[in-house]
Structure formats: structure tokens, C-alpha cells
Structure 1
Amino acid sequence: MKKSIIIALLLCGIIGYSQEKKWTLLECVNHALENNISIEQSELDVDLADINKSQSLSNFLPTLNANGSYGINTGANINPATNQFENNTFRSASGAINSGVNIFSGLANWKTLQRAKINKIAAEYRLDKMKDDISLFVANSFLQILFNREQLKVLVAQNAVTKENIGNTEQLVEAGVLPQGDLLELKATDATQLQQIIAAENALFISKLGLAQTLQLEDYEIFDISDEDYGLIASEILDKRPTEIVEKAKEEVNDVKIAQTNFELAEKDLELARTSYYPTLSGFLGYNTRWASTQVNPFTGEDISFVDQLYLFDGTSVGIQLNVPIFNRFTTRNNVKRNKVEVERSKFLLEQAKIDLESTVYQAYNDAKNSKKSYEAALQTEEARKLAFEYAKERYDVGLSNAFDFNQSRTAFENAQSDVIRTKYDYIFKIKVLEFYFGLPITDLN
């Protein structure tokens, strides 16, 4: 019994801990970077690029191969030991070991190694870009949850005020101060607000579900983010000139880096295609030996032993081989032309990437400035709507205004509150995007 109570308490503690787990933005981003499938695939691309680089280094080494054979021959066959026809049944074996080395091939191995190094850098840039994209997506999803949560809080608070007004209106209707229609109008407003609350709760759940799936978490129902009240983040980034942010972005953002490495890869591919114009020179060294079961020593008339035959019939070969390309149906020339086109294409893509980055940064800068203005305007509107609502409520409470006018003022105030929440988180995200282009961490919301 005692043991069962202890186990139950432990289980309750574990369940309570899992339910109380609140994810911060930093935890969400780090978890996504460690578990996202797209990032894991990009990491595999880096591994493959590293393998290709290792193979390019290995191409400088000589080759070494060994081979052997054993057979039984009947009838007229060439004896591998004497190279004479024999109409006899005999067994034979042969073995060889050969080595080759590339002396000159138009520097193809050297250029292949250079290309492999660039390709690995390009794979790392693509991995970094994938991480940046995931971080931005997670941050946006995180802020969407904050927005939906605050929106729900506002709706619940507004509904509480409406229910309070219903209670006061019932008393005024009973006293004959207000007509029954005003009470019905408030009850209809209460029902509408309850529908809005349900929709807001659903939006909050969907946003949590989306982030949990991005993080590849299985416990969707208990996933939640921290309850911290995130205020406005500092906006010193807006004090910098857009050109300064653009120059910093070229160093921090991977889009231009990827386009640059793709251009360098295209240049290396062109250089590799041109190596096919050059002759190739290679060296080789080999050793071989053979044995046959019917070999007889002409002096003693005895069969020559296996070991003696290996020494008697062995041989070596050493030399160099030159291969000069003369005509290959214009294959090399067309490959060179094709790679020239790819170099020009990559060059244009690099220039376009620089233009796109500059345009994106300027757009992000303007979006951040305008979102700040929108938020400040929304605050002013909310303050004005709040005063108007309080005035309308005072008039309604003493019977100087009807329910329709009161609801109009209340709706305008509610819309102003929603605009404040929307513009606040829109401003925060756009500031973080601009800071991202400047190389600042996106996980810092305070």
C-alpha cells in the first residue's frame, strides 16, 4: 500500500511537471534547430560534401590492385606458363598486382579538390540559411500565440464588462428607467462576444498546435509557451541608416553567400571542362606470376613445384602511358560552351541576389518604421475610444443614452483594443526581422 502511494505521487509529479512546462522562445528555436527534418537533411548534405572533399584528396594517391585466377582446362588450350598449345587436361593459376599513378591530367584533380572545398562551404551556407528560416518561422509562430492569447484576454475582459452591464440594465429595466429592448440588445452582445471568445480560443489552440508540430512534439494538448508579459523591444535598429543595414546583411545573411559560392562552383566546372583539352600522362607498375600443373623440368623430368613455378614464370611491368585527345565529336567543346553559359547564369543570379537582399532590407526597414507608427497611432486611438466608452457608459447608466449608441461606443473601443494588440506584435516581429538582417539574435524579445 505504501509503495502504491509513493508511485502514485511520483506519477502525479511527472504529470504535473509536464503540464507546467512553459516553452520560451529560445527553447522553441533551439529545439527546432535540433529536431527539424529539413535541417537534418541539410546536415546530411554537409556530410556528403565533406565526403566528396575527402574523395578529391584521395584522387592524388596512386591506385593499387591485385587479382588472381584458377582454372581447369581440358582439350587444346594454351598453357599459361609456356604459352604453348597443349591437348591435355591441366590446372592453372595466375596472380598479379598493379599500381598506377596520375602524372598529369590538365590539373583536373587539383581543380576537383578546389571545387569540393567550395561545395562544402556552399552546403554549410545552405544549412545556415535553413536554420535562419526555421528560426524566423518559429519566432513568428511564437508571436502569433502571444497575439492570440492577449486577444483572448481582451475578449474575456470585454465580456465580463458586458455581463456587468446586463446586471445593471436589468435593475434599470425593472425600475422602468430603461426599456426592455436595451436589455435584449446587451444579451445579444453577450452572445456575440461568447462566439468571439470561442473563435479566439480555437485560434489560440491552432497556433499552439502549429508550433508544436514544427517542434515535432507529440503532446500537443499540453504544449504552451511561457506566461511572460512581453513588452515592446528596443528599436535602436531604426536609428541606423538602411545602407548600413544592407552592408551588414551581406555579411550575415546567407542568400548572397550561397549565390556567390554557386558562381564560384560554376567557374570551377568550366575549368574542369577545359581540362579535357589536355593530354593525360600516367605511370604504371605491375608484377604477375603464373602456375600450371603439367610443367616438367627438362633436365630432371620431374614436375616443377608450385613455388618454383611462381619464381620461374613471374614478371614485372613498368612504364608510362600518354593519351592525347584528338577528336571526340566536339564533346569537350560543347561541354565548355555549356559551362560558360552556366557561369553567366550564376553571375546574373549573384547580382540578382544582391539586388533582392538590398530591396528586402529596405522593405523591412520601411515596414518596421511604419509598424511602429501604426502601433503608436493605435495606442492613441485606444485611449480616445476608452474615454469615449467611459463617457457613453456613464450616460447609459443614468438613462441618458440607449443601448444601440452604447454598443456602438463599446464596439469601437473593442476594435481599438484589438488593433493595439495586432500592431504591437506586428511591430515586434518586423523589428526582429530587421535586427536579423543586422546579425542580432532573433530569440531575444526583452
Structure 2
Amino acid sequence: MNKKVIILIVLLNIFNSIGFAQNNQQKQFTLNDCILIAIENNIDLKKSNLQKKSSIINYKQSKNELLPNLNMNYNIGVNDGRSIDPFTNSYSNQELTFSTLGVNLNTTIFNGFRVLNSIKQNKFNMKASEMELEETKQNLILQVTIGYIQILNSKDLLELSKSRLATTETQLKRLKTHYDEGVGNPVDYTNMQGQYTIDKISIVDAENNLKTAVLDFVTLLNLDSDSEKDFENISGLIESDKYAFSANDVYNDALQNLATFKSKQFRIDAADSGIKVARSNYYPEISVFGQLNTNYSSAAELFNETGSSITETGDFVTIANQDYPVLQNEKQFSGTKISYEDQFDNNLNSVVGISVRVPLFNGFRAKNSVQLQKIELEETVLELESTKLLFKQAIEQAYNNMESAFSRYHILLDQVMAFEESFRVNEVRFNNGVSNIVEYINSKNNMDGAQLNLNKAKYEYVLRVKILEYYRGL
């Protein structure tokens, strides 16, 4: 074979091996991988992030209220019929084109500190939204951890079911040989067949439970459920030493670290600032304003003297019974239209002033607004106290469950060891024809049940520890 062809085949095999290894690595997820994926994809977390962005915009807008308001208005139109000429302020009965331009400046210099307190209120609301986003993230991490542990538990239960089936299958083959040869009690073989079907059903149930756990988990992560996924085991699932913190320690850490309590405290601060905002309606509002205006009219003209002429006035004087008309020297003018730019420049005017608005009576709106804000403050305080009570109860319950799972796990360790030894002895006796099938199956079921209970206790303890760590804010 050509040497170049050989080299090419070797390289292709290497690349395929690398690609296969990468694919396998991509299919296997660690708990940290799943947490990062959930944070990236979870819809509820995205919604909470949008609420945080909205609160940031509201905070920025409240600070911008300190800036003056500057607005410009411009219009142009045609007026036909009797109207007021904006150039001469006299009535006109002709078609004319008009245009106006105005610039208005207004700034509030005192309004009972409404703007400053609104800034504080929106700042607290912004911080509360940030903490609520963190709370959503913490809850999501806990959900991912619980789902991940559920998958690992389901995987272990499936492996235990397969191990049970393998043990039963070994005995079934041995008994089938005896059955075919007519040796021993034929009932032993049929009973073992029944046990074999029971173990197969256990595998079917375990596989379905694993698929359900994975499906729920990938839905939480917002991933495609079609592709096959594998999940890495957690090292050091259970420690020999008991959990180091008391329920009271966990609760105190929760008060200090959990975003839930921080967000509700910020809501209290925001409600307190809301009372000050409402009280500002009792105070006068003082503002400074300025205006710059000009206008244009198509009827506006500029008249220039072009000469003079002698004209009769219509009056007469009588001299010697003879009437003579009265003459006068009348100047002559010619009109020229004033340009658009010149009129805007010539008609420019400005206004500067101070405005004071004093609230005398507004249907008790200010009073009721203050009372409503006080009620809202009381509600937020009660919400925080209620949350503390619920968390304290939940922590104590989780702690009791953790202690129970820890004790049950170590008791079940001894039980498993005892039943494994019992099964070993019964298997030897059964294989040698000393004991019967009933004793063997009972011994096997005792061992299998103890192993299943031990596995459940192990993951229950891990789950309770993770919940307590969540409450501590880790």
C-alpha cells in the first residue's frame, strides 16, 4: 500500500477518535455545566432580567427630572376669511399665510422635594429588582441541583435493578439446566422465572423514572430533549460526619445572605420614600420659565416713499361767491413684501418669569395619597416578617429531614451489610441444595430492598444538605 495512503488513513483515524471523544465529552454534563446552561436559557430568569432593566430605566428617568424642560413649537398654515393678522394684530379679510415659532424653557426649583424623594424611591426599587433577579437565580440553581440529584438517584436505581436482574438470571440459567435434566424440584425453576419477570419489570419502571427525570430536567434547562445526554456523578455525595451547622446557624446566614430578604428590605425603603413623595403634594411648587417667540404673515408689507402729488381733498372754500377746491400735497408710497427671515428676526420677543402653584384644596387627594403610601409600607413590612417566618419553618423542617436522612443512611448501611451476608450464605446453601427457593428469594429481596432504601437515603441526605446550603446563600 502507498505510504501516503497509510499516513492519510492514520490521520483520519486520529481525527475521528478526537471527534468521538469530543462528542462524548459534550454529551456529559456536570452539575456546574447545567447551572450555567439554566442561567443562560431559563425563561423566568430572562423575564426577571427584563424587570431589572425596566427599574434601571425608571431610576435614570427620575434623575433626569432634575433637568429643565426645553421645548420648541413651529407651525405654518393658510388662513382664508376674517382673521387677526399676526403681524399687525388687526382684523384682516383676505387669504394670508402665517407661521409662528416658539421656544419654551421651564424648570422646577422647589416642589416639596418630590423629585429627590422619587429618585430615592426608584433607586430602592432598582436595587430590589436586582435582588429579585438574584433570588430567581438562586431558586433556579436549587431547582437544577434537585433535578440533577434526582437524575443521579434514578440512574443508581436503574443500575441496582440491572444488578438484581443479572443475579436472578444467573440462578435462572442454573435452575434451567437442572430442570431440563430433571434434577431437583421443578417449582424452583418456575418460581425463579416469576422472580425474573419481577426484576425485569423493575428495570422497565426504573428506566421510565430516569427518562421522566431527564425530561423534566432538560425542560428546566430549556434544552432539546431529543439528543442523548449523560450526567456526571457528584464526588463525595455523603460525608461520614454530620452536617456542621445548626438550624439556627442556617437561618441567621439566610437573613444575611439570601437575596429574598434583601429585596424585601429594599421594597420597604422604597415604600418609605413613597410616603415622602406623597407628602410633597402639601407644599407649593415654584418654577422658573422663559419663552422666545416670533411670527410671520404674508400680508406684512414695507412701504417706501416714491414722490408726491397734488390732489383735491373734497372740501371747498368760497371767495367772492366763487367755490374753490381745497388742494393738498399727498406723498406716494409703494409696498414691498417683507421676507420670511426678516419677519422672524423683527418680530422676536422674549418672556421670563416665575410661577408659583399653591395647593389650597384638591379633594383631600394629597392626604389620601399619603395614607395609601403608609398602608403600602405596612404591607411590605408584614411581607418581610411573613417571609422570615416561612423561611424559619422551612429551614427547621429541612434540618430535621436532613438529620433523619443521615441517621437512616447509617442504619441502612448496617442493614445492607447484614442482608448481603445473609444472602451470600443463603445463596451458597441454595446452590448446594440445603435451603429452598423461598428462603433464597426472601433473602435476595431483603438485600435488594435494603440496597434500594440505602440509595434513596443517600440522595435524600444530599438533597437536604443542598437545600440547607441554599438557605445559607451558598
Q: Normalising to structure 2: TM-score of the pair?
A: 0.86
Partner of 1:319: 353
Separation in 2 of the partners of 1:297 and 1:8? 97
Cα deviation for residue 175 of structure 1 reads 6.4
Q: Which residue of 1 aligns with 2:32?
A: 26
Instruction: Give 1:57 shift.
Output: 1.1
* 1:216 alignment counterpart: 222
Q: After superposition, where does 1:89-168 map in structure 2 within 5 Å? A: 89-168=95-174
Cα distance, 1:244 vs structure 2: 2.4
Amino acid at match of 2:339: S
Aligned partners of 2:444 and 2:40: how far apart in 1?
A: 47
CA-CA distance at 1:426 after TM superposition: 0.8
| Distance in 1, Cα, partners of 2:103 & 2:58 | 28
Aligned to 1:410: 444
Q: Distance in 1 between matches of 2:225 and 2:250?
A: 40
Q: 2:271 aligns with which of 246, 256, 266?
A: 266
For residues 229 and 297 of structure 1, the distance between their equivalents in structure 2, rounded to whole angstroms, comes to 94
In structure 2, the partner of 1:63 is 69
**2:278 aligned with 1:278, yes or no?**
no
- 1:331 maps onto 2:337 in alignment: no
Given that 1:286 and 1:316 are in contact with CA atoms closer than 8 Å, whether structure 2 keeps it comes out as yes
Inter-CA distance 304–144: structure 2 relative to 1 (3 Å threshold): same
- The answer to whether the 8 Å contact 1:209/1:220 transfers is no
Task: Look up the match of 1:17.
Answer: 22
Equivalent residue for 2:53, pick from 47, 52, 56: 47
In structure 2, what is the equivalent of residue 292 of structure 1? 297
Higher mean displacement: 14-23 or 268-277: 14-23
2:238/2:458 contact within 8 Å kept = no
Q: Is 1:290–1:313's contact at 8 Å kept on the other side of the alignment?
A: yes
Correspondence for 2:317: none
- Structure whose CA Rg is larger: 2
The one of 78, 83, 86 aligned to 1:77: 83
Q: Return the alpha-carbon distance in structure 2 between the equivalents of residues 157 and 240 of structure 1.
A: 37
Question: Quick one: which of 252, 260, 264 aligns to 1:247?
Answer: 252
Cα RMSD, aligned residues only: 2.4
Deviations 1:390-441 (A, max 9, x none): 222223222232212221221111110100110101111111221222233x
Identity of aligned residues (%): 28
Q: Report the 3-state secondary structure (helix = DSSP H, G, I; strand = E; otherwise coil) of the residue aligned with 1:65.
A: strand
Relative to structure 1, the CA distance from residue 378 to residue 122 in structure 2 (aligned partners, 3 Å threshold; closer, same or farther) is same
- Per the TM alignment, residue 9 of structure 1 is displaced from its structure 2 partner at its CA by 9.5
Q: What amino acid does structure 1 have at the position aligned with 2:448?
A: E
Q: 1:84 to 1:11 in 2, by over 3 A?
A: farther
Post-superposition shift, 1:137? Answer: 0.8
Structure number having the greater strand percentage: 2
SS of the residue corresponding to residue 89 of structure 2 reads: coil
Shift of 1:212: 1.9
How much does 1:298 deviate? 5.1
Contact 1:295 1:303 in 2 (8 A): yes
Matched, 1:185 2:177: no
Q: Which moved more, 1:240-249 or 1:340-349?
A: 240-249
- Could you tell me which runs of 5 or more consecutive residues in structure 1 were left unpaired when the two chains were aligned: 441-446
92-101 vs 396-405, which deviates more?
Answer: 396-405
Cα deviation per residue 1:70-99 (whole Å; 9 max; x = unaligned)?
111122110011111011121111101111
Alignment check: 8 A CA contact 2:409 2:457 kept: yes
Give the unaligned 5+ runs of structure 2: 306-334
SS in 2 for 1:281: strand
1:315 positional shift:
0.7
Determine if contact 1:56/1:116 at 8 Å carries over to the other structure: yes
